[in-house]
Amino acid sequence: MRLKKYTDYALRVLIYAGASDHKVSIKEISDTFYISAEHIRKVVHQLSVNEYIETTRGRNGGIRLARDADTINIGAVVRLMENDFYLVECFDSEHNQCVITPVCKLRTALSEAIRAFFEVLNQYTLADLIENKDELQALMGIERE
């Protein structure tokens, strides 16, 4: 069980943008994390469509958070980037064929488990993740203002 790399990348982009005091470029992020700019670009686009970040085109362009870090919920970002959370067949009611579904207690257990998973993530905002801004800036090579 893994999250997609794009989910990982999206969170890194938010952390980078959030920990920076000024606008940042895709290239900067891709250089920092040794990830192709192509991938970052895609992720940035999705985050921008969903109004997590604001992009500015053209020379001196770049990206910045579109909202305050403390209003960006980490559980929500994970839900946005992943396709689904169909742990087992019966979670996908459209394709489910499992005969015991109506009385299955496994289904209940797994639902509870995934709920607990998000209950934790929902308690975090981006602000919590960049609380140690200075340390992050140092490791990401971001210049202080």
| C-alpha span between 115 and 121 (Å, rounded) | 10
The minimum distance between CB 46 and DNA, in angstroms, equals: 9
Q: Of 21, 22, 31, 56, which lies in the binding site for DNA, with binding defined by CB under 7 A?
A: 56
CB 104 within 8 A of CB 98: yes
| Angstrom distances, CA of residue 115 to CA of 74, 86, 108 | 14, 12, 10
Q: Between 89 and 118, how does the x/- string for binding to a copy of itself read (CB under 8 A)?
A: x-------xxxx-xxxxx--xx-xxx-xxx
- Residue 80 near a copy of itself by CB under 8 A: no
Please provide residue 56's backbone torsions phi and psi, each rounded to the nearest 5 degrees: -125, 125
**Binding of residue 135 to a copy of itself (CB under 8 A):** yes
Residues 87-116 that bind DNA (CB under 7 A): none
